[in-house]
Structure 1
Amino acid sequence: MSAVEAAAAAAARAATTPTTRDERAGWLEALAAALEAHREELVGIAHEETHLSSARLDGEVTRTAAQLRFFSNVIREGGYLEAVVESPDPSLIPPRPDLRRMLRPLGPVAVYTASNFPFAFSVLGNDTASALAAGCPVVVKAHPGHPRLSRRTAELAEAVVPEEWFSLVEGMDAGTELVRHPLVRAAGFTGSVRGGRALFDLAVSRPDPIPFYGELGSINPVVVTRAAAAERAASIASGLVGSFTRDAGQYCTKPGLVFVPEGGGVEEGVRSGLADAPSSRQLTDGMSRAFADGVAAFEAHPGAEVLRADADADASAPTVVLVDAKTFSADPETFLEECFGPVTVVVRYRDEELPGILSRLEPSLTATIHRGADEDVTALAGTLSAVAGRLLFDGWPTGVAIGWAQHHGGSWPSTTASVHTSVGATAIRRWLAPIAYQDAPEHVLPPELRDANPLGIPRRES
């Protein structure tokens, strides 16, 4: 029996074991405590495997523990179940029977971990936390970029979560076998467009297609208005350099395409600030090669000026690609291609050119507007909100807060399921399906739908 077969069978058995929301909340809180108790050990392993700084990794452990506790609060509150109770009404046409509806867990799910967040989007990351919260047993496919960390984190999880509710598998073959396995009912993924699309195609081509929630590529456009540039060009330029070079530019929310007004001073500030931008190693050799290839493609473009933080450094140095609006419009595909790493494309525009070049944008996880004080950007916000899952003002998209109102998603190619999020309370919705009960006897109903609402959850009643 393969590791995937054993893990899927165990998860299927676990899914038949009833659990309460309080029980699962307790698991999540215990997992958070286990991460914190082993913080030093885990950060040391992660630093060796990923080259990310210990300070960054320590903060990521804190975030991961916070995510686990956040979902424990989400399920204890109970509103995520979307419970509805409708009383019979014979006066309606057709007559309405007694109807009660709520969300229930899908069953065993697969989680494919990310390379760039070895804690927060990995073995005990947001997908695993939200799936366990929903009541779904989880089979995690480890990322090859940090295998020792994945195994050690899994050991901690298996010591906390009841037997068969959590398993870890490794290897590319295991990844494809997992998404095809008939006992797996949904999958979550964070990674490249190519890898995500391959798994998505397998998920939907099964004899029984399953939902595949992939977070893929995103360029996260930024528009700096002329009024904003006139007020604070230097600080915008400094913020941009800090954002796109942070942790070697290895963020899905990195600002990869920035529109600045011609002659507004932002471009000059970026040129100046790039000289002090820090260089750092990327997570894997494959990612380093892909980044080098992406920068080489920009350098080969006749209309692009490519600047590096250190002209003598290798291809991993922070890089800015400068083009004008005409060049961008003539070949948008080149500049809309995500290049994962410390690079951003800066497009200088004349005011009359901005609407045309923005019409070329593809969907992204985020879009950002830097505006002048009291400037009306309603029209610009309307344009960008049509292509982004999160619209920011006067800030930078790197960093995704955990909250009830957060949305971390978008249309293809940023994700495979635009109506869902992988961060925030409603991330749990991916692992749930509705069920309605009609004229059901009280003893059959889940406690959340019984007349007296014994668990006191929020629900709609009529």
Structure 2
Amino acid sequence: MTDLTTAPATSDAETGATGSPVDAAAAAARTAFAATVASTAAERAAWLRAVADALEAARDELVALADEESHLGPVRLNGELSRTTNQLRLFADAVLEGSYLEATIDHVDPSAIPPRPDLRRILRALGPVAVFSASNFPFAFSVAGGDTASALAAGCPVIVKGHSAHPRLSARTAEIVAGALAAAGAPDGIFGHVTGREAGVALVQHPEIRAVGFTGSLHGGRILFDLAVGRPDPIPFYGELSAVNPVIITQAALDARADELASGLAGSFTLGAGQFCTNPGVVFVPAGSGFAERVATAVGAEPAAVPMLTDGIASAFAGGLADLAARDGVRLVAGSVSQQAATGSAVVLGTDAATVAADPQALFAECFGPSTLVVEYDDVDQALDAISRVGGSLTATVHAEPDEDVAEIVAVLTEIAGRVLFAGWPTGVAVSWAQQHGGPWPSTTTIHTSVGMTAIRRFLRPVAYQDAPAHALPAELRDDNPLGIPQRVDGVLVVPSGA
């Protein structure tokens, strides 16, 4: 690892480092890329598993540090660390399985129109990647989180910009990751760690960085996104930014289980003091149902919320709630807006679809914390019209009865969200091949996922080889398929037995 948080200024003409910590880390990452891009799947899998094992071995130390800095509690943090090590190992499995490479072989076909040469296509690592840690997940979306794991799995060196909300944890985690990678034989420079806002800006603009992974605020993410695409050589910026994650509940569902739904919503939007990117921030219910009051009752039965992660988050949450509560047609159903920043207590607000339609931009602004806005609708069409104005979200949820026709609802939810839930709550994001954690703007800046095995696709680019001799081809594209990975050959997917 290259940990350059407090590194002295240097000058190295051979490596291209100009003296700053970011320059030195980037130069080391570029050198490492020559080894990582040529590494085998077995080598990368071993690196990932070594990091997972090292984090597990340091569990007690890391959880204690994380709790001191985040106040999220040992139960939550132990679970999050397990999620982190689990996804590292799953990426190791994915690398060995090989389908993520999309290995494709089209043999020569002179009868095709136009005649087809021998073409073989594969996905290849982009190069050094910058990763920005998130405040609300000190393990799973931080130094050794999903962005880092997927980039390393792809064969990309990583430079992590640590988050100021948990600096000591970030530094210690980075040391452990570095030691594990070195012990597993990974090249020097494969992993770097820097801190500070200026370092983050410099990373995005650095010519050696080929992609950026970011989880954070819409404001901060948009600034970095614009820097990434405004470079002389624009690079992809994979940002997860803002989402209100709408929920629609039908009359039949309310008739069948209103109290259960109120309790489920209360548990979801207060989880972790509401500091989840999938927090259900706006919920549509039939007019006159009294559902907001049911939620208020359920919130009263919830345990006290944990403190907000940072003073900045608490302040932004309090300000956002105050603006929302001051809108004509919005009422405070539970909680106190004025005390929110200090107490982290839950807040339930209520309004109706007509009020939302008059100013959707203001009423659908994300309030990152333990709050939800209950919106009453007169009919489903009115609700769907309002939901269509939400903008992109990570999730959208429908609660209906099994025999209801929800095709129209699902069509609208699919248009605005990356993950559509049925009879569930959006907090909690499984790590799997089928997961999609991303959606239309402003939830993310791309169509890709930041959770699950296909997150690796962000850090790969396609390369095709035409009429290449067999000895010049990557092993994954050879006819004898020595690695036994899935290949698409002349249009037919071929999966070797045991693959």
**Same fold, judged at TM 0.5 (above):** yes
Note the 1:404-415 alignment, pairs <5 A: 404-415=433-444
Distance 2:422 2:47 in 1: 37
Q: Find the residue that maps to 2:261 and give its secondary structure.
A: helix
> Is 1:346 aligned to residue 364 of structure 2?
no
Runs of 4+ in 1 over 3 A off after TM superposition: 307-315
1:357: how far off? 2.0
1:312 Cα deviation after fit: 8.7
Q: Which consecutive unaligned segments of at least 5 residues does structure 1 have?
A: none
Instruction: State the SS of the aligned residue for 1:203.
Output: helix
Q: Secondary structure at the match of 2:464?
A: strand
Deviation at 1:310, TM superposition (A): 6.2
Q: Is the 8 A contact 1:308 1:317 kept in 2?
A: no
Q: Which residue of 2 aligns with 1:294?
A: 320
Equivalent position of 1:115 in the other structure: 135
Aligned residue-pair number: 461
Indicate which of 174, 177, 187 corresponds to 2:212. 187
> CA separation in 2, counterparts of 1:270 and 1:285?
27
Seen in structure 2, the aligned counterparts of structure 1 residues 90 and 301 have a Cα distance that, compared at 3 Å, is same
- Separation of aligned partners in 2, 1:308 and 1:383: 30
1:321 Cα deviation from its structure 2 partner:
1.0
Q: Does 1:244 align with 2:272?
A: no
1:62-81 C-alpha deviation (Å, 9 max, x unpaired): 00001100100111000000
Structure 1 SS opposite 2:312? helix
Question: Which letter maps to 1:421?
Answer: T
What is the CA-CA distance between 1:263 and the residue it aligns to?
A: 2.6
Q: Within 5 Å, give how 1:64-75 maps onto structure 2.
A: 64-75=84-95
- The 1:102/1:422 distance shift into structure 2, 3 A limit, reads same
Does the 8 Å contact 1:253/1:365 carry over to 2? yes
CA–CA distance in structure 2, aligned partners of residues 48 and 201 of structure 1: 35
What does residue 444 of structure 1 align with?
472
- Contact 1:47–1:53 (8 Å) recurs in 2: yes
Residue 307 of structure 1 contacts residue 321 of structure 1 at CA under 8 Å; is this kept in 2?
A: yes
Distance 1:50 1:111 in 2: 20
Over aligned residue pairs, what C-alpha RMSD do you find? 1.2
Instruction: Report if aligned partners of 2:293, 2:333 keep a CA contact under 8 Å in 1.
Output: no
Deviation at residue 353 of structure 1 after TM alignment: 2.7
- Give, in whole Å, the separation in 1 of the partners of 2:151 and 2:238: 12
Question: Quick one: distance in 1 between partners of 2:134 and 2:315?
Answer: 18
Mind listing any 5+ residue stretches in structure 2 that lack a counterpart? 1-18, 491-499
C-alpha deviation, 1:295, in angstroms = 1.2
- TM-score, normalised via structure 1 length: 0.98
**Alignment equivalent of 2:428, drawn from 399, 413, 417:** 399
Instruction: State the shift of 1:343 in Å.
Output: 0.8
C-alpha contact 1:217 1:413 (8 A) present in aligned 2: yes
Instruction: Tell me how far apart the structure 1 counterparts of residues 407 and 164 of structure 2 sit (CA, whole Å).
Output: 45
Contact 1:303 1:327 in 2 (8 A): yes
**Mapping of 1:147-158 within 5 angstroms?**
147-158=167-178
Contact 1:218 1:363 in 2 (8 A): yes
Matching residue's letter, 1:345? L
1:355 & 1:198 partners in 2: Cα distance? 32
Paired amino acid for 1:8: A
The offset of 1:275, in angstroms, is 1.8
Q: Does 1:262 pair with 2:282? A: no
Pair 202,312 (structure 1): closer, same or farther in 2 beyond 3 Å: closer
Could you tell me how far apart the structure 1 residues matched to 2:339 and 2:106 are? 67
User: How many Å separate the matches in 1 of 2:102 and 2:406?
Assistant: 35
Deviations 1:347-372 (A, max 9, x none): 01111532332332211000000001
Aligned counterpart for 1:317 among listed residues 342, 345, 354: 345
Instruction: Give the residue type in structure 1 aligned to 2:460.
Output: L
Q: Secondary structure at the match of 1:195?
A: helix
Q: Which residue is 1:175 aligned to? A: 200
